[in-house]
A and B are shown apart, each in its own frame.
Chain A
Amino acid sequence: MGPHDSSISAAAGSTSSSSSSSACSSSTKPPQPPDQMDHLLAGAGYKVRSNDLHQVAERLHRLETVMVKSNPLEISDLVNDAVHYNPADLASWVDSLLTELNTNPPVPVPTDLSDPHPNMNNMMYATNHAPHLQQVVAQPFEEDVSIQLVHVLMTCAEAVQRGDLSLAGLLIDDLQALLGRVNSGCGIGKVGSFFVDALSRRIVNSPENAAVHSDLSAYENEILYHHYYEACPYLKFAHFTANQAILEAFEGQDCVHVIDFNLMQGLQWPALIQALALRPGGPPLLRLTGIGPPSPDGRDSLREIGLKLAELARSVNVRFAFRGVAASRLDDVKPWMLQVSPKEAIAVNSIMQLHRLLGPNSSRGPPIDLVLDWIRDLNPRILMVVEQESNHNQPEFLDRFTEALYYYSTMFDSLDVCTAQPEKALAELYIQREICNVVCCEGLVRVERHEPLVRWRERLINAGFAPLHLGSNAFKQARMLLTLFSAEGYSVEENEGCLTLGWHSRPLIAASAWQAIPKPSPTMGPIIHP
């Protein structure tokens, strides 16, 4: 069991611990270390340092006074034009509103996407107080057969973990029988069959055997990817949110360079090219470096995509240059291959790629550290990270299996609302391959090592990156994107400067933006650009 977020447990907890106090104006809580987050407000979802409480109260009071004095139009403008960031940080949220409403000349829009109140201490909070919540949102399967199905799935997974493959094999037979009795068109029947299939593959084949598990050609892979892209909003959300953030990071820059960690079919880039074309003041020179696996069949698929994008760029008068970098693994990429120039503003774009680096260490050390290190050396204006919001990288097989069962059930549920075929069927196959990798594979071959946002935050902060908050405008636009999918169940949520997309109340994808903190030179301390 993972450790819990201490602030939530304290707030949720025992009525016996605090003394009953009379209502009076001063706080009667036992004194807390001033640098700590106040645990009462943490239980309400706000991060306020204990020693900031009085200041926050005073600012709220001032904000109210100013709001009362302002005319309704001003308030309306405030609401419509102001971009709100990270509302969990109450102090800075109130400050930003006060700034907006004051009669001072408007603060010039920052040309990079920094937090309006860059504050090293904010970053320190994240480091010290990153919650280690093990959040598994269970999707209860209620009908009798479903309950049995989940039972036997768990028992089988447990047997696999213990190495009792003969028992596991028998249980697979039971599972097949149960599957015959459920509605295999939706719900547990659908996703359950994929998990049964994955378990049986694992029992039959050695988990380290790559050949058995990558049975599709690159071309077939792309077909599945494309249908997944159409059938549900997850990839579109990722691309859309990333492009928004990159656009803002590139404001005022004449030479920009996007490094895409997985070019695939380049579906993300037409929208960015068009947005840059329409930029007030005209488009910059755009360079795109697309990383992707080498094409086995003699095609240069990277170059093909590059050519198509170049054509599009030409048609909208955006000066564009493309470079493809073929690499089977991200940690095979060397920075010199990217040919960055010191004059350009760099955006690194990683859509569901970083988790692939969490596998076994190479001779050069942990692949993730290697890659984050050279990203930092590039000094990008923005590193965009989108990842699956789940922990499929736990050391114990059973834990991974359980978490994946619930994660992918939720994802399949969301797919249920898609009626277009063959988009839906092929999207399901795409997801099935992910499931297979999580369940069947180990070692180097297991690349779907998803970890949740809280862990990525820790990792990135430790690697020398500072968060760039995604604000209410990105949130609003993401919600508008969802209306295209006409399904009530999708939800975008704000999570301390990051955005998540989920199904009902379960986040499934998390998007976050980061800025590299330049490494300290040997003679001076780090120079932070606000």
Chain B
Amino acid sequence: MAGSNEINANEAKKVVPLHTWILISNFKLAYNMLRRPDGTFNRELAEFLDRKVVANTVPVDGVYSFDVVDRTTSLLNRIYRCTSPENDSGHHSGAGVIELENPLSTTRIVPVIIFFHGGSFTHSSANSAIYDTFCRRLAALVEGVVVSVNYRRSPEHRYPCAYEDGWEALKWVHSRSWLSSGKDSKVHVYLAGDSSGGNIAHHVAHRAAVSGIEVLGNILLHPLFGGENRTESEKNLDGKYFVKLQDRDWYWRAFLPEGEDRDHPACNIFGPRGADLVGVNFPKSLVVVAGLDLVQDWQLAYVEGLKKAGQEVKLLFLKKATIGFYFLPNNEHFYTLMEEMKNFVNPSSSSSPPPPP
């Protein structure tokens, strides 16, 4: 109905800056063309339309990047590092020879954030321009390393492929001596992700916790969770700020095993089939919820679920933020988020209890 779409477009325009509206609307319309009603996905056109960037060993604004392919899994990780006297050992003038002999630092702790990009399990890659830009900012912000994982996507690769790839990446990161730091010479790992990436981060963290592999913290940026029930936020915000509920349903159908519903534990963490996290050595979490995201009730339920299980969690609720607010540095939510992430990862603040939300 043209009328209600007019209203919706105008609503969205009121709350996001022009650039953001253009960027997210562009994705929305392109993605509409890529999802087929029969559940298949036009991967060719998707790859054609996706703007990608090459890694660059020449530092740009203090951050350089390079790709590593894990030979055993064929998985690609893009590594982002900051230049600084102590962790920039072998850099030839512009020629980009990567030194992988030394730890990041022998004195201070350098956080390594394993980042899972978003895209509802289906879109984007580690070398997508929007995520390359985001990871560069993140690396500079925490003065550490970001490892962006190019996990396998649905519908070609359903659950649990993305989680397997995340798990492999975690093990790979932990075993790189050149990612270790601090006097204890170990890799100080955080997990982070937006949208489906946030979902992946949760599941990898869970597996790490029960396997005894250390993860110092989780950062979930409007993580993708759901369930069979229709929540208030889903009903109220359906179609209003770039996202329709039926699109969300499409992506779950494409990701979950065929025949499964949205109460599958991958999707509905603390639902009827969810795992019990009581007593699990789960890392502390920073969960960022955008107040105009229709999925927020599930994200808030996730936060409650973590609390009930006695886990440490901080909720950052950004009332007027829409999805994707963190792609462009043109709004206050972006800067608030940056500040929170920086504090979360700062080793000196990790021992103090989180302030009340």
Contact = CB atoms under 8 A, between A and B. Distances in A.
Nearest to B17: A27
Contacts of A18: 329-330
Nearest to B71: A187
A283 B320 CA distance: 62
A26 to B, nearest CB: 7
Interface in B10-51: 13-19, 21-23, 25-26, 28-29, 32-34, 36-37, 42, 44-45, 47-49, 51
Contacts of B178: 142
A44 B58 contact: no
A398 B19 CA distance: 42
A165 interface: no
A133 interface: yes
B57 interface: yes
B52 A15 contact: no
Nearest to A60: B25
The contact size tier of chain A is 35 or more
B55 interface: yes
A48 B21 CA distance: 14
A68 B60 CA distance: 41
Interface string B76-100: 1010000000000000111111111
A48 B19 CA distance: 10
Contact of B26 (A4, A60, A406): A60
Interface stretch (B127-135, B217-225, B348-356): B127-135
A147 B97 contact: no
Given A40-B19, A45-B129, A472-B45, A23 B320 contact: yes
Interface residues on B, range: 35 or more
A54 interface: yes
A20 B335 contact: yes
B264 interface: no
Contact of B61 (A14, A56, A88, A150): A14
B67 A402 contact: no
B69 A44 contact: no
A505 B55 contact: yes
A212 interface: no
A12 B54 contact: no
A274 B332 CA distance: 60
Interface in A13-66: 13-15, 18, 20-29, 38, 40-41, 43-46, 48, 53-54, 56-57, 60-61, 63-65
B41 to A, nearest CB: 11
A488 interface: yes
B53 interface: yes
B300 interface: no
Nearest to A471: B48
Interface in B116-138: 125-130, 133, 136-137
A124 interface: no
Interface in A492-513: 492-494, 504-507
B333 interface: yes
A1 B94 contact: yes
A255 B8 CA distance: 55
Which of A69, A138, A399 has the most CB atoms of chain B within a 10 A radius of its CB? Answer: A138
Most chain B CB inside 10 Å of its own CB: which residue of A60, A75, A76, A413? A60
A56 B21 CA distance: 10
Contacts of A61: 9, 25
A142 B2 CA distance: 57
Interface string A296-339: 00000000000000000000000000000000000000000000
Interface string B328-349: 1111111100100000000000
A136 interface: yes
Contact of A88 (B29, B51, B99, B334): B51
A475 B133 contact: no
A140 B52 CA distance: 21
A2 interface: yes
Contact of A67 (B17, B32, B141): B32
Given A12-B60, A44-B23, A136-B58, A402 B44 contact: no
A25 B66 contact: no
A167 interface: no
Contacts of A41: 19, 22-23
Nearest to B54: A135
A368 interface: no
Contacts of B17: 21, 23-28
Given A20-B335, A136-B56, A479 B66 contact: no
Interface string A387-419: 000000000001100110010000001000000
B127 A505 contact: yes
A187 B71 CA distance: 10
B5 interface: yes
B48 to A, nearest CB: 5
B68 interface: yes
B58 A1 contact: yes
Contact of B74 (A13, A46, A406, A488): A488
A12 B136 contact: yes
A8 interface: yes
B63 interface: yes
Contact of B45 (A79, A140, A506): A79
B341 to A, nearest CB: 11
A79 B334 CA distance: 34
Interface in B259-317: none
B228 interface: no
Given A87-B51, A147-B101, A402 B96 contact: yes
Given A25-B18, A26-B18, A43 B133 contact: yes
Contact of A505 (B9, B78, B100, B130): B78
A84 B49 contact: yes
Contacts of A494: 47-49
B66 A138 contact: yes
Interface string B123-161: 001111110010011001100000000100000000000
A253 B97 CA distance: 51
Contacts of B16: 23, 25
Given A40-B328, A53-B22, A69-B2, A147 B100 contact: yes
B97 A154 contact: yes
22 contacts: A1-B94, A8-B133, A12-B63, A20-B335, A23-B16, A25-B13, A28-B17, A44-B51, A53-B22, A56-B22, A57-B22, A64-B28, A87-B51, A147-B99, A147-B101, A150-B97, A398-B92, A399-B93, A403-B95, A504-B76, A505-B126, A507-B54
Given A44-B130, A137-B54, A504-B67, 10 more contacts: A2-B58, A12-B61, A13-B61, A21-B331, A25-B17, A46-B23, A67-B29, A79-B45, A472-B45, A493-B47
Shortest Cβ-Cβ A-B pairs, 7 listed: A45-B51, A45-B129, A1-B94, A136-B96, A402-B95, A13-B61, A12-B136
